[in-house]
Structure 1
């Protein structure tokens, strides 16, 4: 196996302290939003592979290592199903401010959208380019600290009650629409109206709603915090349509295609299919493709299903999801316990989040990770918490 060197992504919404505290290093004062572990071309992990004679080779990116011998690194089954690339991306995600309100396409939608933009020769780096690849992007976030987010549509009656409680006259048309149709039609009509409203009027409504939420507090207070970061943004109103979710450490959320969501605050381990396809609904200065967004969003009320891991006799605690691209589990290793074998005919990334466990002969500290090629015999031991990321099938 190989110790990984990973890149921190300094997105503006990132916490300035959460990742440095986990790594045990001094903060830089700049946002540190995500630590990427994997072979995504945007920021691939790096490693130094030792030769059979024990000599260290040159530093390489993980995607270069995989490209040199995909079947050896990923296993035949992974290559046959997903092609010669690592199908998942693992991250530490540290939100100090809200991320954009967003949704991901399904696989067929992604392929269709990508082919359409390729046919129209939309440059890959164009601000209005939506589909960067022909893949879907299911994802799972597991909280390491108390973690807050928005996930899926609420019942229209609940969203209407929240808007009405603010006492803002310009929200009343949305309140009326939420009660005038079947639930799916109501949600579609209201989100369409929010995103299509005149910007100056929307900004005034958001500012009034934020002042009311600040004054009234309680369950309304989150909307004042969101508006603080995105004053005048229509996403503040759209956020009132969604479930507000608080995760405790060890709890997780799975986000499938078409489910609108936004992470607001906290540190977590995130795993996703290796894709960049995001359609934004708000809370962002970036392009919002309203027609495509409305094609992809699933307009149905849902209860956010908080996942808790299921333990096996080996001590592995698995977060069960329907995703084929990834499988995330956790080990809480105790002093004196027998080593746990983790050999698997698929690639693995092991991430330490607490303590000082060992992966094979490699000692790990919080934030450290290793890549284990398919079929490589390995075991974990020692004391601490270790996350295991691998392929779902």
Structure 2
């Protein structure tokens, strides 16, 4: 059991306050802080505190894969940690994106390797051969676009804008209100020539303004329309603004989760959350970004089946148990949230590691055999497979902890 030091990633869409405040550092930070990586990703591995020294978790696993990962994890995923845990702080929208399936990732990675595209090239789509299912759990109210909306509701939304130039596109979806119709409309919009996009998008944004100025009782899609206007202001002339009108608009309250399997188009808009994913960096972007957008490759991986009820809640591991589990089908990871209050029983994490624990509220004591470790808010710990079972107790008042391990 060791204290784990995360790797901070600074992107333009990050927050100057959220991660810094959670970790007890001065705010505002010098740069927008977007993600804190906790894991053994080759691009930015975390560090293990060993005495007075810090050792890369990647190196520690390479030196002792059996002790760090255990036989079960190695049998499924080899000598690599299969999951990556993150703190994610979005002050501005992330790019519109999707992730490939396992088969698509292997094929794409092999193809780009054979083509000689460097791993660090800005036009590289596949930086590894793994898929990237992911689960984000809100720490604050968390806003997102996730998966294609039911086509009938999308037709209703588009009609409500009362934009004559949309009639052709509405008819396209209305005539085929299923995944094929969504594919046809999305493909048409994402490949519009710049002159056509430059004509259509301003008319839609004007329709959005008119809609929001109408009677309050008729503004059923006010949240969706405000999002379109905000994206149109931030990304003028971007086809991703059109695509956003086809997606579910999600608000997660603290503790709620959002699971996204391969192929689901999504964009996180605003908020602070804990995110766990397969240990991959494969992203296919569709807009709302100055980064590389490969539309043909994106169309190859997208799942156009409407996504219904994507938000998830956690279930208690047992009666009176302070451990709440987020069920997903992902074999690479399992995430649980531990809620401790004064006088409640200690939380026992009997399942063997590898495990990463992240304290997001209060202060806790971890006991692992004869060892103990204190985690303050914003701190994390690594539990190796060889370590004994862990017991977690609150030090004073209420505390919250997230636990990520192999699925």
What TM-score bracket applies, with the shorter chain setting the length?
A: over 0.9
Q: Which residue of 2 aligns with 1:21?
A: 21
Please give the secondary structure, in 1, of the residue aligned with 2:156.
helix
Please give the secondary structure, in 2, of the residue aligned with 1:223.
helix
Contact 1:344–1:374 (8 Å) recurs in 2: no
- Tell me which of 376, 393, 402 is aligned to 1:381: 393
What is the distance in 2 between the residues matched to 1:162 and 1:137? 31
What is the distance in 2 between the residues matched to 1:208 and 1:95? 29
Is 1:352–2:359 an aligned residue pair? yes
- Tell me which of 205, 211, 215 is aligned to 1:210: 205
Is 1:60–2:52 an aligned residue pair? no
Is 1:363–2:374 an aligned residue pair? yes
What is the distance in 1 between the residues matched to 2:317 and 2:285? 38
What is the distance in 2 between the residues matched to 1:36 and 1:214? 39
Which ranges of structure 2 fall in alignment gaps of 5 or more residues?
213-221
Q: What does 1:135-154 align with in structure 2 at a 5 Å threshold? A: 135-154=130-149
The CA RMSD measured in Å over matched residues stands at 1.6
Contact 2:5–2:49 (8 Å) recurs in 1: no
| Pair 171,384 (structure 1): closer, same or farther in 2 beyond 3 Å | same
Q: Which residue of 1 aligns with 2:38?
A: 37
- Tell me which of 236, 242, 246 is aligned to 1:237: 242
Contact 1:243–1:304 (8 Å) recurs in 2: no
Q: Which residue of 1 aligns with 2:343?
A: 336
Partner deviation per Cα, 1:166-222 (whole Å, 9 max, x = no partner): 233433332121112251221111111111111233144333323432453323111
What is the distance in 2 between the residues matched to 1:170 and 1:84? 55
Give the structure-2-normalised TM-score: 0.91
Contact 1:253–1:304 (8 Å) recurs in 2: no
What is the distance in 1 between the residues matched to 2:167 and 2:289? 25
Which ranges of structure 1 fall in alignment gaps of 5 or more residues?
50-55
Is 1:119–2:114 an aligned residue pair? yes
Q: Which residue of 2 aligns with 1:52?
A: none
Partner deviation per Cα, 1:236-257 (whole Å, 9 max, x = no partner): 1101111111111100011001
Partner deviation per Cα, 1:337-365 (whole Å, 9 max, x = no partner): 33322243330000001011122222222
Count of matched residue pairs: 386
Q: Which residue of 2 aligns with 1:257?
A: 262
Q: Which residue of 2 aligns with 1:53?
A: none
Shift of 1:73: 0.3
Q: Which residue of 2 aligns with 1:288?
A: 293
Shift of 1:147: 0.7
Please give the secondary structure, in 2, of the residue aligned with 1:357.
strand
Give the structure-1-normalised TM-score: 0.94
Shift of 1:11: 0.8
Q: Which residue of 1 aligns with 2:48?
A: 47
Shift of 1:328: 0.2
Instruction: Please say which of residues 264-273 and 127-136 is displaced more in the overlay.
Output: 127-136
Contact 2:10–2:34 (8 Å) recurs in 1: yes
Instruction: Please say which of residues 116-125 and 322-331 is displaced more in the overlay.
Output: 116-125
Please give the secondary structure, in 2, of the residue aligned with 1:301.
coil
- Tell me which of 140, 150, 154 is aligned to 1:159: 154
Deviation above 6 Å: which 4+ runs of structure 1?
Answer: none
Is 1:228–2:243 an aligned residue pair? no
Partner deviation per Cα, 1:248-273 (whole Å, 9 max, x = no partner): 11000110011111111111100000
Please give the secondary structure, in 2, of the residue aligned with 1:75.
helix
What is the distance in 1 between the residues matched to 2:209 and 2:360? 35
